[in-house]
Amino acid sequence: MSTTADAGAVDPPVNRLRNVSLGRYSALILLALFFVYFGLIDSTTKDVFTDGSNIKVTLAARVTIGFLTLGLLVPLAAGIFDLSIGAMMGFASMVLAWIEQENRVPGGVFGASVVTILICMVFGWVNGFLVVKLNINSFIATLGMSQVITAAMLWRSDNQRIADVFSDEFQDLGRKEFLTQSLSVWYLLGAAIVIWYMLEYTPFGRKLFATGGNPDAARLAGVRTGRYIWTALIISSVMAALGGIVFDMRQGAASPQTGPPLLFPAFAAVFFGATQIRNRPNVWGTMIAIVTLAFGAKGLQLKSPGVWVEPLFNGLALAIAVAFASYQGGLRLRRKRDPEVPSGNLAATVSSRTDLDVDPSG
């Protein structure tokens, strides 16, 4: 056996070149293209686009979505969707405002934030209960939860926004700058590092991915998959709460309308990100995706202002990125499913067709 062991191997250099697929870096390439086009070529945008303040504003505007995407990543690693994260974020921002309004929690705004996070964790716990104990599909359970949260929020707030309850010191935490960027951007970076460490460098993260990769196999390897799913949903609720708190810092006001519309852009960034760098949900791929989407939308808005630009851009960029990554990754899409490979975790689902076409022979 040993004499023939290497007969099938191709020279390493060739091998390496082949394995680098541009699709894995399409977000970075796109980002560069945006800077070249909007920053150097297009005369209507080129004065503004590369301006330091434009960069700062563009990045800071994405911090809330950034927290949501980090929150989505964790359950997605375990193959679970959390559709309540948008509503949860809006809810958190309202809860913080209410507590500040009533002013009954000791410890000032810090105490209020802790209470907000704890309340969101309870909702995350309930999500976990529905999914793990009652065995409800996560898509449905969290969709239901998002409606319940929205209802609670509307009932309590009468659909009114709350302003003028946050102190200047609190708002400074979101508005002040550090190394040319808004402080909130650094908070997001900090959270990203924590999630990255957790997913990639702890047994917890590995088991989470295993749960997403094949829950039955993971269970037989001794992973308590239910616990991991449950924990993941609690972590995503914490990220939603943090997103809400940072939102309040930056805006100085809370409104029941803020959360839900952020769900799609957050999902778009996570799915886009899951095609980047490595073919599964990952923190830095997602962060790059957010930045790319942010600058792409910004450039288009500078050219032709209109609120419709951004959703259109998000949708198109997502579809194109996923298609590009699948194509480059050599995954065959049409009628060519590998008969030996079950559809696996999210990354595979994202980058191959998700409809149930039937292979003709196998």
Partner 1 sequence: MSGSVLEIRGLSKTFPGQHALINVDFDVAPGEVHALVGQNGSGKSTLIKILAGYHDPAPGASASVTRQRRGGELTHLRLGDARAAEEAGVRFVHQDLGLVETLGAHENLALGAGFLTNRMGTISWRQEIKRARAALADLGYHIDPRKPVKELSAAERTGIAIARALQNWDRDVELLVLDEPTASLPGPEVERLFDVIRTVKERGVAVVYVSHHLDEVFHIADRVTVLRDGRKIDTVPTSTLDHDKLVELIVGRALYAEFATDLSEGRAGGRKVVLAARGLSSSSLLHLDLDVTEGEIIGVAGITGSGREEVARVLFGALPRTGVVQIGGVHVVGDRPDLSVRAGLAMVPADRKQVGIMPEMAVRENMTLTDLQPYWIQGLLRVRKERSEVSTWLDTLDVRPRQTERLIKTLSGGNQQKVLIAKWLRVKPKVLVLDEPTQGVDVGAKADIHRLVDHAAEAGAAVIVCSTDTEELVRLCHRVVVMQRGVARAVLTGDEITVDRINQLQLQVAQEATA
Q: How far is the CB of 80 from partner 1 (least distance, A)?
A: 16
The DSSP secondary-structure symbol of 287 reads H
Tell me phi and psi for residue 182, to 5 degrees. Answer: -60, 145
> Is 209:345 a contact under the CB 8 Å cutoff?
yes
Residue choice 66, 213, 259, 299 for contact with partner 1 (CB under 8 A): 213
Listed ranges 63-71, 148-156, 231-239, 352-360: which one lies at the site for partner 1 (CB under 8 A): 352-360
By CB under 8 A, the count of residues binding partner 1 is 54
Listed ranges 53-61, 91-99, 122-130, 333-341: which one lies at the site for partner 1 (CB under 8 A): 333-341
**8 scored as a contact of partner 1 (CB under 8 A):** yes
What is the separation, in whole angstroms, between the first and last Cα of the chain? Answer: 32
Residue with tokens 């791929």: 285
The dihedral sign for the CA sequence 347, 350, 356, 359? negative
**341 scored as a contact of partner 1 (CB under 8 A):** yes
Residue 68 tokens read as: 């949501």
**5 scored as a contact of partner 1 (CB under 8 A):** yes
The CA distance from 135 to 325, in Å, is: 33
Listed ranges 45-53, 54-62, 171-179, 335-343: which one lies at the site for partner 1 (CB under 8 A): 335-343
**43 scored as a contact of partner 1 (CB under 8 A):** no
CA-based radius of gyration for the chain: 22
**1 scored as a contact of partner 1 (CB under 8 A):** yes
Of 5 and 307, CB closest to partner 1: 5
Q: Which helix (H) or strand (E) holds 162?
A: strand 162-163
> Is 257:36 a contact under the CB 8 Å cutoff?
no
Residue 124 tokens read as: 């995350």
Site for partner 1 in 269-288 (CB under 8 A): 279-280
**18 scored as a contact of partner 1 (CB under 8 A):** yes
Q: How far is the CB of 209 from partner 1 (least distance, A)?
A: 7
Residue 317 tokens read as: 């960029």
> Is 156:99 a contact under the CB 8 Å cutoff?
no
Residue choice 43, 216, 308, 355 for contact with partner 1 (CB under 8 A): 216
Report the interface residues with partner 1, using CB under 8 A: 1-5, 7-10, 15, 18-19, 200-203, 205-207, 209-210, 213-214, 216-224, 279-280, 330, 332, 335-342, 344-345, 347-348, 356, 358-362
